[in-house]
Chains A and B, each alone.
Chain A
Amino acid sequence: MSIVMNVILVLSWVFIVFGMIAVFRLKNIYSRILSSTTIDTVGSLLIIISLFFAVDSFRFVVRLVMLIAFLLITNPISSHVNIRSAYLTGIPLNDPVNNHD
């Protein structure tokens, strides 16, 4: 049980590190939003799934399931609202000045 938890935690470290590298390297704002939100969502889901193997009581499991459902619902809504706000008020999709990717 503990070996499975450690393996999933190491996977989540990899996703968090690549997410932070992508946030600092990418130049366009839309690619930055896409990579950071997807990678951070996967990292948070992996961390919370790995926490299931460390608990033994039913009350912890109920809270963790509620946390996973909340993160799955609200993360896409947040990124969608942010991209819609950035698109409707100014920033073009293909910026020829700042696009070095």
Chain B
Amino acid sequence: MNFLLVTLIIIVVAMILSFIRLMIGPTIWDRILMLNLISIKVVLFVAVYAIHQENLLLLDIALSYGIIGFLTMTLLSKFIMTGGREK
């Protein structure tokens, strides 16, 4: 029983549940929160897969995907907070 493979399966199931919550979320901040959770789980998935395959370059991909997810989250929240106007 390989524990890394079970971790990968649990992360994928959690991503599917997050996507269901993203579709039924009542407000837009729920959807942004679930988007953040999905991006963190993608980073975790790529990191665990890199260790499982013993590939060094996948860890760099995980880091850059984390930066993209963080920028998406903060810029969307600021855009909604100011109502699309400059401030």
Contact = CB atoms under 8 A, between A and B. Distances in A.
A40 B80 CA distance: 24
A10 B65 CA distance: 25
A81 B74 CA distance: 6
- SS class, residues of chain A in contact with chain B: helix
Contacts of A5: 3
Given A24-B17, A70-B66, 16 more contacts: A9-B6, A16-B10, A20-B14, A29-B29, A29-B30, A36-B33, A36-B37, A47-B44, A54-B51, A59-B56, A63-B59, A71-B40, A78-B36, A81-B74, A81-B77, A82-B29
Interface string A47-62: 1100100110001100
Contacts of B70: 74, 77-78
Given A71-B66, A81-B77, A91-B27, A51 B47 contact: yes
A29 B27 contact: yes
A63 B60 contact: yes
Contacts of B32: 82, 85
